[in-house]
Structure 1
Amino acid sequence: MLPTLTGLIIVVAIMLFTITFYFASEEISDDQQASLDGLKRDLSYLTQDTTRQLADLAANDIIINALVDVEQRDNYLPMFFRSLNLTQARDVSFALYDFSGALVIQKNWPEQLPSTLEQAWRPITLVESESYYSITEYGVLFSVPVLLNEMAEGALVMYVASLQPLLRPYPRLTEQVVTDGNNTVLFSSDLSFVEQGKLRFTQHTTQFLVGSDSFGDLKLYSISSFTSAFSSIRWLALVILAMIVGTLLINLHIISITAKQAQDTLTGLYDDIIRRVRNEEKPVSDSVPLEVLELSKIRTSFDELLTNLTEMSLSNEQFSNVIDSMGDMLLVVDNSQTVLLCNRQFDALCDTYGEGHDATIARLITKLHGKSKGELKYTDSKGEASRILWRVQPLLDENNVEKGKIYVGADVTEQKALESRIKILTSAIDEATVSIVISDIKSEGQPVIYANGAFADLTGYSREEILGGNCAMLQGKETESSSVFGLKTAIRNRIPVETTLLNYRKDGTSFFNNLILTPIQIDGEVTHYIGIQQDVTKKLQAERYLQEAKIKAEESARMKSGFLASMSHEIRTPIHGISGILQLLEKTPLNNDQQHYVSLANYSVESLSHIVNDILDFSKIEAGQMQVEAHPFSLIEEINQLENQYRLLCEQKGLSLLFNNQFPTGLRVLGDAVRYRQILTNLLGNAVKFTETGTISVTTNIVESANDQLLLRCDVKDTGIGIAREKQPGIFAVFTQEDLSTTRKFGGTGLGLSICKQLCSLMGGDISLESQKGIGSTFSFYIQLERAPEEQSNGQQNTDQVSSIKTGKLKILVVEDNEINQTIVKEHLTTHKAISAMSGVEALEALNKFKPTFDVILMDCLMPEMDGFEATRRIRNGEAGARYENVPIIALTANAMKGDREACFAAGMNDYLSKPFDVDDLLDKIEYWASVKKVPADHAS
């Protein structure tokens, strides 16, 4: 068995080493490739970002004016140049040249550039008006043209004498080297490792692992030390060698002891048989022989047999019964292989495995010829195998002459299976990657009786140091006493427990130990505890980092939301001013040209508003703030409004506009009419924009399912420019149009279709495209709606009744801090009496000062001193008097983000109108709320 076992161990060790070597090589290769990819990204970022920043500086008015205003540039240009700092490198030079190549101003500029660089950048930047960069052994140079009317009036040049300081700040996975086409080192992450000059990797092939890649004309290298790269395998080889040697020594020792015990047992058995036959007394011995269990059973059986034969003079039949009662198989043959004696168990063996006596005996004698023992395998008719361990002793006569052989067989099938299972379990526990210890809680001090190899790796204590000791040695001054008390309580109550506590290694370093204690019961009594330990320090740190990252992300989202709200307010306020002035201008007498100019301005304002709304909608969707509402609306009314809106545009371009509605005209649905109209408006707007001749058709149908659920499908088909097949997969992506020429010719942000797809998804639907280049496109979308309840379908009557009441001339307080917006609103309210206030403080003073009662208050939200929210709350609390506690307050605000409307209502405002607004919407809301205040009780209900 020893050679076989040794060979098996060696084969397994070679396999383990080969697999580990393979994965270590793969990991090294991955690290080097990752290092090269990172270096390429750093170079790409360096060239692109530096060129972009330099181009931004070249477009600065200070630089451009310096080339035009020659007399004044000395007053400001030197200060501007002293402030230039685009990289983390210290010795960076900047220079500004005019169109003739003459130096205008410089910062740290060398007296003379290398001729190679001087000759390279001038024709490209000054003549061709193109940006240029160069990374060579002469240094790193970037040049961008200073453009005036698309022509280069000069050049802004940045020069660094070496690539080394530009790449030094970036982190490195491995040592990195950058060379040019002549193999000259331009950058080295470790100058002590590779110096400037010619790089010869052939001198280092036995010491280093080298990976390479290219970036333009540059050659990139990733270098790893062979010794450090494969250090992880070195200790594994030592461990495997130690396992092989240890296993061989243990097996040799076991075999030697077993053979000696078997020899002593059989010799003693033989001597006892001879003494009993000769009626000799057994000699007294102080030593107790150590016997193998199986042989001990044989010895006991033979002792009982001989005792019975001697004392009771058993007959041959009685002797045969005793032999048959043995658990083991017995066979005695003489030198001619004639059977002298066999018991019933041996007969059963021959019958069970179908070999017959003669074949079984012949096989047994052949296999064990010249051996003292041997194991044979027997297989029955069902294919089930058994293993029989045979021991052989000589049959001697009175003169110690061998007359034959005695064969004793024991069935060791279950024993072998149990030994194999125990060996597998022991090996699995020893090789486990988590620390496992077993403590004897019945003994004093609850000592550790077993610890696997992972315990030593985790704690630094060897097995010898922990065996007989206690895991309390891992505790320290900062270990929580409550956790230790919980462990002791669980052990005292004999229950399992899991906890995490701070422990200390042998070298004093601390770690968080996740400890699982499980009781082990023997005969119904808990006698031991098995403990599984694992270092969860990194896990806890990761959880803490994730929590901190989550807090930062939430803070970032709040800052982004606040920024978007501020930008919305700042952009919408001037747009509202322009829109309001144009609406006022339209009401004045204008000639045809003026009307045309006003209409063009209105169109531009609408386009700008559309772009702003698209960007804000996209930001809401991206931040997860976009929500859809569910209100009853008439589908045919929405479609008719869009048809009226776009029919005039189509007629102006000579296009046919067709609507095909395949649903009942009186159908009212429950959904978000604004978002539905936004989707269809985007698709119709694109169809009109990209179609020069032909037809635009809109087909809408409704499919009804159970529970009043409706599926609305709409197809918008045009005969426009179409979209190439290869461009279609990304057409719904953010900021995507078919190509740049489309953007230049037709305009747009590239957000419309992306917003449409997101809105469809929010309403339980989707959008798709079918298109052919030059033939046309069909955009199809579907959304989920519900049939509006009957009471909601008829609920519009009360509002109409209220709106029909004439309000007459109203007294209106306009609270607005922007004078332009204030003027616009008051001009629109010339049919009413309007008084303005610049802040919430002035509004409260006006309400308390004027005796006439204001009918409606138009309230801006963001104002100095006191904003509209605080002013509204004070009005509702009675600070303006009881007569204004229920006065209609309409918010006029440039805030259009999620929650702005709700914030207005929460403050006590009655309605909300975002800037820029249409004058008709403003007048409608004023009339409505003034009429609600005056409507009779039966109408208001």
Structure 2
Amino acid sequence: MNDILQEKKHQLLFEHTLEVILFFDEKGIICDCNQAAYKELGYDTIIGQVSIMDIFRRVFQKSRDGFRFLLKEEMNEVIETVAYRKNLTCYPVDLKISIQKDENFYLGFCSAVSIASKRAAMKDAKKAKVVVEKVNQVQNEFVANVTHELRTPVNGIMGLTNNLLETSMEPSQMESLRIIDRCCQNMIKIINNLLDFSKLEAGKFTIEEKEFSFRKFMDKAVEANLPAINEKGLKLIVSVSPDIPDNLIGDELRLTQILNNLLSNAVKFTNAGNIVIDVIKTYQENEDIELFFVIIDTGIGISEEEKDKLFKSFSQVDASITRRFGGTGLGLSIVKELVELMNGSVNVESEKGKGSTFSFTVRLKLKKEQQNQNMQSGSFVYKGLEKMSVDSSKYLFPIDSYHETDKIHQFGTEENKEVIQGAMEKLIICIEMDNWEKAEHFAGVVKSMISEEQKELRRSAFRLELTVRKEQHEKALEQYNALKEVLEPYLKNKE
């Protein structure tokens, strides 16, 4: 049945293609052809009557010897020539000839495509491209003008609202003004998204390279989302690896936009539980540094089938989500574009009803004096690898000096190996007993002990800690065994 269907397909393709197709024998006489050959060449009868030397006379020499000589060369490359019709008029074509033969079998094949048709198609394509570019230009100019015109009155409303909020009034009036202010802030976000989207579409978006403080950047990004976090009574956990230098070079504004978008989404779609932000360094060489951000929530989650829609423009996984939570569907598509402009990638893992994990990498640059530093001492970072919890309106984000004085942190020492081995033994017990709080503690200990080691080892420990946080029993066992396997050669060398 499949062979018959395949044969039918080939027959349809042969009969209905617009190019001239000819089969010929060892003498050059045409033994089969398609309908386009009759139509283009003007013959009533071709098979057995016409030679390809008559049609492509500029290619072949008149003698049979010349024909055979050229066929021996097989002419597999496409050549530009002319095809002669029955009435001796001709038209330009791209010609390709190939041959199938053995001792008892010979079949020649040639196809000729009208260059005039191809040129016309290319001309039409160029015209269409010009039209599309013009439409895009008009569209982008329109979006830029409209967003500017919208931003002006919205900023005016926000300014007047803030002035009124500083005056004395009834509680109900105060609440109404707060609602107006929140609505204006949401409107500004939508306007900014539309403007950014139009710039990205037009290819006019550029990434700046300026020096900034990474710790202050983290502070500001988290502080911007604290009111919504505290309003919902969520617990925020932030962990930043101590080996990340504070002074970096990159586009702080766009990095803030990426993190704010993912964090605000996590808050929006999480009604109870935790939100986790984890940042580690995954690469550093000369002036280049790569950071890996992870944002975990215990929100509504999405199914595997719905994930494909996430990073598409004007798309949300479900229309009911737009009605319930709002949004234009542009946020994540802008995140993806910005991350890629910063030489990174973005990924998502999610399970319906259990939450989501968004991760992304970005490439930044180091100041010259930091390029050979390993952040062993004197660097201001979030205290060690401890996680800072935020579950009240009072926000504290301690910053302390990180002094690496204890030998147990130096990878390769006996003290270091003993701590890792002990933590791994306790970790597996906690996983098997589903004691996730303590399991997370021991996973964090292991990760901190190998924070200066090779990328593969650090990533294994990092993945294990994330899995433990999500309380996934089977996956945690799997990640534990994977980490144990890469650690085993190192631990065996323990004297």
Give the structure-2-normalised TM-score.
Answer: 0.57
1:621 CA drift (Å)? 1.4
CA 1:534–1:618 in structure 2 vs 1: closer, same or farther (change >3 Å)? closer
Q: Which residue does the alignment assign to 1:698?
A: 277
- Check 1:542–1:790 CA distance in 2 against 1; reply closer, same or farther (3 A cut): same
Q: Is the CA contact 1:636–1:666 (under 8 Å) kept in the aligned structure 2? A: no
Report the Cα offset of residue 660 of structure 1: 0.6
Name the counterpart of 1:659. 238
| 1:424 has 2:3 as partner | no
Contact residue 636 and residue 665 of structure 1 kept, 8 A: no
Matches of 2:79 and 2:366 in 1, distance apart?
61
Q: Is the 8 A contact 2:137 2:202 kept in 1?
A: no
Pair 1:621 & 2:265 matched = no
- Pick aligned residue for 2:137 from 549, 558, 571: 558
* 1:456 counterpart residue number: 84
Alpha-carbon distance in structure 2 between the residues aligned to 1:719 and 1:628: 32
- In structure 2, the residue matched to 1:605 is 184
Q: 2:47 maps to what in 1?
A: 240
Distance of 1:427 and 1:773 partners within structure 2: 64
Please state if 1:647 is matched with 2:233: no
Select 1:753's aligned residue among 332, 354, 357: 332
Q: Secondary structure at the match of 2:364?
A: strand
What letter is aligned with 1:781? Answer: F
Alpha-carbon distance between aligned partners in 1 of 2:244 and 2:7, rounded to the nearest angstrom: 74
| Cα distance change on mapping 1:637 and 1:23 into 2, 3 Å | same
Which residues of 2 match residues 583-594 of structure 1 at below 5 A? 583-594=162-173
**How far off is 1:24 after superposition?**
5.5
From 659, 680, 699, the counterpart of 2:259: 680
Matches of 1:653 and 1:629 in 2, distance apart? 35
Give CA-to-partner distance per residue, 1:491-531, whole Å, 9 cap, x none: xxxxxxxxxxxxxx58xxxx7899xxxxxxxxxxxxxxxxx
Q: Against the structure 1 CA distance between its residues 29 and 659, is the aligned structure 2 distance closer, same or farther, given a 3 Å change threshold? A: same
The aligned runs of 1:465-480 (5 Å cut-off) are none
Q: Determine the C-alpha separation between the residues in 1 that align with 2:12 and 2:114.
A: 27
Give the aligned partner of residue 289 of structure 1: none
Aligned partner of 1:734 in structure 2 is: 313
Aligned-pair CA distance for 1:23:
4.9
Where do residues 192-203 of structure 1 align in structure 2 (5 Å cutoff)? none
What SS does the corresponding residue of 2:199 show, helix, strand or coil?
helix
Task: State whether residues 717 and 776 of structure 1, in contact with CA within 8 Å, keep that contact through their aligned partners in structure 2.
Answer: yes
The amino acid of 1:548's aligned partner reads K
Once residues 709 and 616 of structure 1 are traced to their aligned partners in structure 2, the CA distance between those partners, rounded to angstroms, is: 30
Letter in 2 for 1:722: G
Listed as ranges, the gaps of 5+ residues in structure 1 are 1-18, 32-226, 245-418, 437-453, 462-504, 515-532, 792-941
Tell me if structure 2 keeps the 8 A contact 1:689–1:746. Answer: yes
1:513–1:734 Cα change, 3 Å: closer
1:697 deviates by: 0.9
Tell me which of the two structures has the higher relative contact order, counting C-alpha pairs closer than 8 angstroms and 6 or more residues apart.
2
SS in 2 for 1:742: helix
CA RMSD of aligned residues (A): 4.1
Q: Are the aligned partners of 2:296 and 2:356 in contact in 1 as well (CA < 8 Å)?
A: yes
CA distance in 1, matches of 2:217, 2:264: 16
1:26 to 3, 13, 19: 13
CA contact (8 A) 1:435 1:534 kept: no
Matched AA of 2:139: K
C-alpha spacing 1:21/1:575, structure 2 compared with 1 (3 Å): closer
Q: Which runs of 5+ in 2 are unaligned?
A: 1-5, 19-33, 52-62, 95-111, 371-495
Alignment of 1:145-184 (within 5 A): none
Deviation at 1:655, TM superposition (A): 0.7
Q: Which amino acid aligns with 2:85?
A: D
Larger Rg: 1
Matches within 5 A, 1:402-413: none
Letter in 2 for 1:594: Q
Q: Kindly state the Cα deviation for residue 426 of structure 1 after the two structures are TM-superposed.
A: 6.0
Q: CA deviation at 1:574?
A: 1.8
Secondary structure of the structure 1 residue equivalent to 2:47: helix
Secondary structure at the aligned position of 1:240 is classed as: coil
Separation in structure 2 between the aligned mates of residue 537 and residue 234 of structure 1, nearest angstrom: 15
Query: 1:729: Cα distance to partner?
Result: 2.6
Distance 1:560 1:788 in 2: 40
- 1:398 aligned residue: none
Mapping 1:73-112, distance limit 5 Å = none
Partner of 2:292: 713
**2:342 is equivalent to residue 763 of structure 1:** yes
CA shift, 1:557, in A, is 3.2
| One-letter amino acid matched to 2:335 | C
Q: Aligned partners of 1:767, 1:674: CA distance in 2, in Å?
A: 18
Contact 1:718/1:776, CA 8 A, preserved across alignment: yes
Measured in 1, the distance between the counterparts of 2:208 and 2:92 equals 50
Partner in structure 2 of residue 631 of structure 1: 210
Aligned equivalents of 1:560, 1:789: Cα separation in 2? 43
How do 1:34-45 and structure 2 match up within 5 A?
none
Deviation at 1:237, TM superposition (A): 8.6
For residues 549-607 of structure 1, the C-alpha deviation after alignment (integer angstroms, 9 at most, x for no partner) is 44333333332232122112221122122112112212322333322222211111111
Task: Spell out the pairing of 1:119-130 with structure 2 (5 A cutoff).
Answer: none
Q: 1:579 corresponds to which residue?
A: 158
Q: Which residue identity lines up with residue 211 of structure 2 in the other structure?
A: P
3-state SS of paired residue (1:238): coil
Note closer, same or farther for the CA distance 1:566–1:666 as it changes in structure 2 (3 Å cut). same
Percent of aligned pairs with the same residue? 30
TM-score for both structures, normalised by structure 1: 0.31
Tell me the distance in 2 between the aligned counterparts of 1:421 and 1:30. Answer: 32
Deviation of the 1:684 alpha carbon: 0.9
Q: Secondary structure at the match of 1:571?
A: helix
**What letter corresponds to residue 69 of structure 2 in structure 1?**
L
Shift of 1:656: 0.5
Question: Would the aligned equivalents of 1:760 and 1:781 in 2 still touch at CA under 8 Å?
Answer: yes
Could you say what secondary structure the match of 2:130 adopts? helix
1:295-374 correspondence runs (5 A):
none
SS in 2 for 1:698: strand
Cα distance change, pair 429–685 in 1 and its aligned pair in 2 (3 A): closer
Asked whether the 8 Å contact 1:435–1:455 carries over to 2, the reply is: no
